[in-house]
Amino acid sequence: MGYQISTIESGLLSIAVLAAASLLALLVHRLVYALAKRFVAKTATKLDDSIVRNSNAPTRLIFVLIGISMSMPFVHLPQALSNGIYRLIGIGVIAGIAWLIIGFINVLSDLMIERYDIHVSDNLTARRVQTQVHLLRRIVVAVVIIVALSAALMTIPEIRGIGAGLFASAGIAGLVVGMAARPTLSNLIAGVQLALTEPIRIEDVVIVEGEWGWIEEIRPTYVVVRIWDLRRLVVPTTYFMEQPFQNWTRKTADLLGTVFVYTDYSIPVDDVRKQLQSILKSSELWDGKVCVLQVTDATDHAIQLRALFSASDSGKRWDLSCEVREKLIQYLQERYPGSLPRARAELFSQGGEVVRHGRRAKST
């Protein structure tokens, strides 16, 4: 009975020592990071802020594991339990290091994103860099997680084969994955190709599956397109490597807008051309580069006028197109109502009279 009591007391004392070591490690960590936050608050750069923010949680776990590991020689636990705790400490250290690596990947990502702002008119370089950073970060993070999980499983002798198999399935051993993993692998490879070849970037204006919108997210296996009416179109990354699509901002954010107006043959085209120039000059949306009005078609009922103009980005181009269309129609209604499209017809009555435009005229 005395032996049992001493064993229970020894176990409780060991638990108390481990808990105290964990608590002490947390207090030390809290003190260190409180000093670190106070220091980085005085600096102008955001790099040290990102380092402190992204390393806070993983280092907390590592501090606790170090505290428990340092206290293990001072506790008396059964050998099997001690071995289990050491094994958990090893797995925890692997997880903490992987977590810390992911944190520093995020630090580098924040540093690159901070240098390139996409919230400007001509943001081609910024969108290119941010697209590569976002996509490559997700791929590297996925690789780090797979490697850490494989390493953690290989520390356990009973399931070491699972860890080795996971290494192989991740491609680290250079083996080909099974047929079931082909769609995922093809999307991952397409994601790497997107980052390198850059057919699309964050905030590119695209037309996909007949839908007009912006590239909102690019992930290793899928891309999210924000449609103009705020719907989201989710497309596999392989789509952008295998299917044709329109990218309106591939080289530059500048775009040309077009408006088609149909009028009668009697319209004075030069007057409409001067009115287009007046409309564009009074608009804040026009970038002052392109202003053209041409007769692009003529049918038996009307002529087609095409107004061509430029804008600095897709949003302004759309709004400017609507503005030009509305004001041209209003101009025609007010100044040349008789030049609006009309249908002509000749009707012959039994008496040989011809009716033109609703008026009766003697046939000659």
CATH number for 297: 3.30.70.100
In Å, the largest CA–CA distance within the chain is 136
Res 53 pLDDT > 60: yes
> What does the alpha-carbon distance between residue 77 and residue 16 come to, in Å, rounded to a whole number?
12
Residues 97 and 239 in one domain: no
Reported as a single tens digit per residue, the pLDDT across 160-184 is 555 555 555 555 444 444 444 455 6
Residues 50 and 124 in one domain: yes
- Which pLDDT belongs to residue 131? 72
Q: Model's pTM, two decimal places?
A: 0.47
List, in sequence order, every residue forming a beta bridge with 235; answer none if it has no partner.
223
Give a yes or no: residue 200 inside a domain. Answer: yes
Give a yes or no: residue 87 inside a domain. Answer: yes
- Which pLDDT belongs to residue 345? 61
- Which pLDDT belongs to residue 275? 93
On whether the CB atoms of residues 98 and 152 are closer than 8 A, the answer is: no
> What does the alpha-carbon distance between residue 74 and residue 50 come to, in Å, rounded to a whole number?
38
Residues 154 and 58 in one domain: yes
Reported as a single tens digit per residue, the pLDDT across 64-122 is 888 888 888 877 777 777 777 888 888 888 888 888 888 888 888 777 777 766 555 55
Residues 49 and 135 in one domain: yes
Res 193 pLDDT > 90: no
Give a yes or no: residue 147 inside a domain. Answer: yes
> What does the alpha-carbon distance between residue 320 and residue 258 come to, in Å, rounded to a whole number?
10
Q: Is the dihedral of CA 330, 332, 334, 339 positive or negative?
A: negative
Res 302 pLDDT > 80: yes
Residues 169 and 196 in one domain: no
Residues 135 and 10 in one domain: yes
Give a yes or no: residue 316 inside a domain. Answer: yes
Residues 327 and 262 in one domain: yes
Domain range for 275: 255-339
Residues 201 and 312 in one domain: no
Q: How many domains does the chain have?
A: 3
Give 268's pLDDT tier (boundaries 50, 70, 90). very high
Alpha carbon distances (Å) from 341 to 19, 257, 276, 292? 87, 23, 19, 22
Token pair of 241, please? 């490597």
DSSP state letters, 111-173:
HHHHHS--SSSS-HHHHHHHHHHHHHHHHHHHHHHHHHHHHHHHTSGGGHHHHHHHHHHTTTT
Which has the closest alpha carbon to 245: 286, 285, 194? Answer: 194
The CATH code of the domain that includes 199 is 2.30.30.60
Residues 122 and 41 in one domain: yes
Give a yes or no: residue 346 inside a domain. Answer: no
Residues 161 and 197 in one domain: no
Residues 124 and 106 in one domain: yes
Give a yes or no: residue 353 inside a domain. Answer: no
Residues 231 and 275 in one domain: no
> What does the alpha-carbon distance between residue 148 and residue 155 come to, in Å, rounded to a whole number?
11
Give a yes or no: residue 17 inside a domain. Answer: yes
Count Cβ atoms below 10 Å from residue 67 Cβ, excluding itself.
Answer: 20
Give a yes or no: residue 99 inside a domain. Answer: yes
